[in-house]
């Protein structure tokens, strides 16, 4: 995933430069940045968990309701 490949420091500098023109405080920028990083890591973990389930198990779950 794109956000996980970038270091946190570089990403926070990028967000601060982008949001500095909007007049948002540094605290808000850091909250938004770390939220996006955390969301990207949770997404990748959930995607790996779902893709680990076999096709037969998925069909059996659909059959059971």
25 in any annotated domain: yes
61 in any annotated domain: no
Q: How many domains does the chain have?
A: 1
* Cα 15 from Cα 12, distance rounded (Å): 5
8 in any annotated domain: yes
More confident of the two residues 40 and 2: 40
User: Mean of the pLDDT values across residues 44-64?
Assistant: 92
43 in any annotated domain: yes
31 in any annotated domain: yes
Q: Is the pTM of this model over 0.85?
A: no
For 12-46, how does the pLDDT look when each residue is reduced to its tens digit (9 = 90+)? 777 777 777 777 777 777 787 788 778 888 888 89
- Structural domain range at position 9: 2-53
Write out the chain in H/E/C secondary structure. Answer: CHHHHCCHHHHHHHHHHHHHCCCCCHHHHHHHHHHHHHHHHHHHHHHHHHHCCCHHHHHHHHHHC
């Amino acid at each position: 995933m794109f956000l996980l490949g970038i270091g946190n420091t570089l990403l926070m500098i990028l967000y601060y430069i982008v949001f500095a023109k909007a007049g948002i405080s540094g605290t808000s920028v850091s909250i938004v940045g770390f939220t996006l990083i955390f969301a990207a890591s949770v997404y990748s973990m959930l995607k790996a968990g779902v893709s680990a389930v076999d096709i037969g198990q998925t069909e059996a779950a659909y059959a059971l309701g």
